[in-house]
Chain A
Amino acid sequence: MLMLAQLVNALVIGTLYALMSLGLSLIFGVLKLVNFAHGESLMVGGYLYLFLASFFLSHSCGLPLPLALITSMAAVFVFGLILERLFLRSAYERKTARYDEYVILVTFTLGIFLQNLALPLFGPYNRQAPAIFTGRIKIGDLVIAGDRISAAVIAFLIIALLLFFLYRTYLGKGLRAVAQNPDAASILGISVARMRGMAFGIGISLAGVAGALLGPIFLVNPGMGVPFAIKAFVIVVLGGMGSIKGTIIGAFILAMVENFGSILLPDPTRALAYKDAYGLLLLILTLLFRPQGLFGEKERRA
């Protein structure tokens, strides 16, 4: 019974991990950069949802919570477009000599900036965001908290929408084309600069909506994004940088390892503390035995 509960929990958490890591993966694929501000994008989404939801609830509009969720996702998307325009586009267009290092510095500093802006603005305390569905679901002896199951279902729907967008629509195909070969894509008339902005916006809005969904389950605070960002890094390396399929599978592997790994440690406080540390173990194992990740391509040197 305990094992089954752990399994369900791992599936729920895994879906949320997949959602935020897909954003990181999409950004890596199209812009060829790791967004070190991914955790803070998640935090921004969490706070936006928290404030919008409490505002809507107190003014009793119809359908307040789903509306708050969608609005916060859209707001983070616009935020991403602005950030890309401000800090990333010029580096790409001017062909900055050391693009790789520049983008790491910029995104990391952006993360530090956002986190330390949220700290004095919102205070260091934990806050709980209202959940969309608060009941409990009973299946036989198994009881699942409603906030978790609703978050997982919504995350699943968003992932399905994202995959439909990427593989079936014109814009999505454009994004994948730029990810595969920007030069060829631009010859065929795709605006690479616009696709890069789009990918960054969509990528961090996925982190933002993940933050909004995680807010009711875990708590919202300025540093909430850091452990999730590190998990997303582990997942993306494990799945293979830029691979959509790898990212989804990697997310569930990490969730399983975390959930079943914590059973192995007898001391409960320690087990809780080290839950976040399993990721590093998985990362080291990946780098040791399959550095290109499960579905990554082996790097070809020019």
Chain B
Amino acid sequence: MRRFFLGVLLLLAAALPFIFQGYWLYVAIVGLYYAVLASSWAMLAGQVGIISFAHAAFAAVGAYTSAMLVIYLNFPIPLAMVAGSGAAAVFGLAIGALTLKMRGPYLALTTLAFSEIFRIFLTAEYELTRGSYGLKVPLMLDGNKTWCYYIGLLLLVATVTTLSLVLRSKLGLFLLAMREDEDGAATRGVNTVYYRLCAFVITSACAGLAGGFYAHVIGLVSPRISTISEMGLILAMSVFGGLESLMGSALGALALQSLTEYLRAFEEWRLAIFGGLVLLILKFTPQGLLPRLSELLDTCRQRKSNMLKDEHR
């Protein structure tokens, strides 16, 4: 059932450029960028229990690294994107190594400070980054939107598959054990700090890669990528889709991104609305909206089949 659902979803996604062109395809591409960010953030927050507020900032690290390598050093775009992902991973490693050895909200605090100060840095270093005007970036594949869309889809599928495989591997089991009972896992010989650091670095690299993709698809990078509001948007997407589900978060991102386009008229109220909704979701169904809906569907179906059984008797 689940496989079938996934297959249909993938087919639909692959057929999308034949249905939509122009503006809505562009919307879908940006949606894929957010989907990669939201699903990797959900892995971190939902499965590992690390709340990082630097995910948007790491995307900006990837975007600016990749953009500047291409512009100033004439790197080929794919190589530059990989380098951008590596740069985000290095920042993740540094922040993680500093904060993950302590319990408590140290990582959340430090990542928030980092993302704000990285934004200040991007705005202040005008000669390198063109400040808040943003840096014009060469497009990938000569800006062919259809191909860009498929690259984005490939990126999303690769991210979700890789992270799911990680969760099923030994590392994933350790992470699960730590999430449920950290002291228990530690007494059984799990090096909790090391595995958490691994998860943080992997997901940070995903954010950096997404940022590089964004830079070369949109053609403009600005410090706006690294704002706290942008981080709030990613959080909202993950919570909508369900923090503990990678696919759910990716779908949540695509749904919110299309919703955003419908809400163009309310542009400035958008984050207030999303923020309010997230507060309600967190209060009433902390596991997220999509899982809750499918749960409800399941119980309905169960009830129906029970009724059928009763009739047979």
Contacts and interface: CB of A to CB of B under 8 A. Distances in A.
- Among B53, B112, B229, the most chain A Cβ lie within 10 Å of the Cβ of B112
Interface stretch (A45-53, A105-113, A182-190): A105-113
Nearest to A279: B113
Given A287-B106, A288-B98, A299-B103, A280 B283 contact: no
Centre residue among B117, B269, B271 by max chain A CB count within 10 A: B117
Contact of B104 (A109, A112, A117, A241): A241
Contacts of B236: 109
Contacts of B283: 86-87, 90, 106
A113 B269 CA distance: 10
A113 B117 contact: no
A302 B183 contact: yes
A59 interface: no
B204 interface: no
Given A113-B272, A273-B120, A301 B183 contact: yes
B7 interface: no
A34 B98 contact: no
Given A283-B110, A301-B183, A277 B120 contact: yes
A103 to B, nearest CB: 9
Interface string B70-103: 0000000000000000000000000000110111
A115 B113 contact: no
Contact of B229 (A116, A241, A280): A116
A280 B117 contact: yes
A273 B98 CA distance: 25
B113 A34 contact: no
Contacts of B229: 112, 115-116
A300 B295 CA distance: 41
Contacts, number: 125
Interface size class, chain A: 35 or more
A284 B117 CA distance: 13
A185 B98 CA distance: 34
Contacts of A115: 229
A101 B229 CA distance: 19
A112 B228 contact: yes
A109 B108 CA distance: 13
B282 A109 contact: yes
A106 B235 CA distance: 11
Contacts of A117: 272, 275
Nearest to B286: A102
Given A104-B105, A112-B275, A226 B228 contact: yes
Interface in B217-245: 228-229, 232, 235-236, 239
27 contacts: A34-B105, A34-B109, A86-B283, A87-B283, A98-B49, A100-B49, A100-B104, A108-B51, A108-B235, A109-B232, A109-B275, A109-B278, A110-B275, A113-B275, A113-B278, A113-B279, A116-B268, A117-B272, A120-B272, A233-B112, A241-B104, A274-B124, A277-B120, A280-B113, A284-B98, A287-B99, A299-B104
By Cβ-Cβ distance, the 9 closest A-B pairs, closest first, are A113-B275, A112-B232, A116-B271, A273-B124, A120-B268, A116-B272, A117-B272, A34-B105, A287-B98
Interface of B: 45, 49, 51, 53, 98-99, 101-106, 108-110, 112-114, 116-117, 120-121, 123-124, 183, 228-229, 232, 235-236, 239, 268-272, 275-276, 278-279, 282-283, 286
Given A100-B49, A105-B282, A277-B117, 13 more contacts: A108-B108, A109-B278, A109-B279, A109-B282, A113-B271, A113-B272, A116-B232, A116-B275, A120-B272, A276-B120, A277-B120, A291-B106, A301-B183
Interface of A: 33-34, 36, 86-87, 90, 96, 98, 100-102, 104-106, 108-110, 112-113, 115-117, 119-120, 226-227, 230, 233-234, 237, 241, 269-270, 273-274, 276-277, 279-280, 283-284, 287-288, 291, 299, 301-302
